[in-house]
Amino acid sequence: MTDRQAKHTDRIVLDGMVLRGHHGVTAAERELVQRFRIDLTLELDLSKPSATDDLRDACDYTRVYECVRHIVEERSFHLLEAMASCIADSILAEQPMVSAVRVGAYKPDPPIRGSFERAGVEIWRERGNDRV
């Protein structure tokens, strides 16, 4: 078990968010609306909301989703790396109880010849680094 796993074993998982946006390296990619899949894993201590059963003590999934939706649908990035990093940094900034976040950002229909399910990136950000 790593130090990170020993610290927090509680997680909130929001997988398979399908959103539409204008992202890509070429102007043509950014002009067309494309599908993007976002998978999130939030690492945090869930003992208090588990005990109180009160949303005020919890990480509000709706607010997290709206943060992701806003970034994917209302902003534009050349690279999935930049979009995923923005999502991670925003969640850490807006959700103080989240200690770390994994963001998977995938383009189900990338403009690449070949047969594969999706192309994407996965990043991990932790609270306490210089980015947040």
Active-site residues: which are they?
107
Angle between helices 80-94 and 61-74 (to 10 degrees): 150
Classified as helix, coil or strand, 108 is coil
DSSP H/E element including 47: helix 47-52
Amino acid found at 127: R
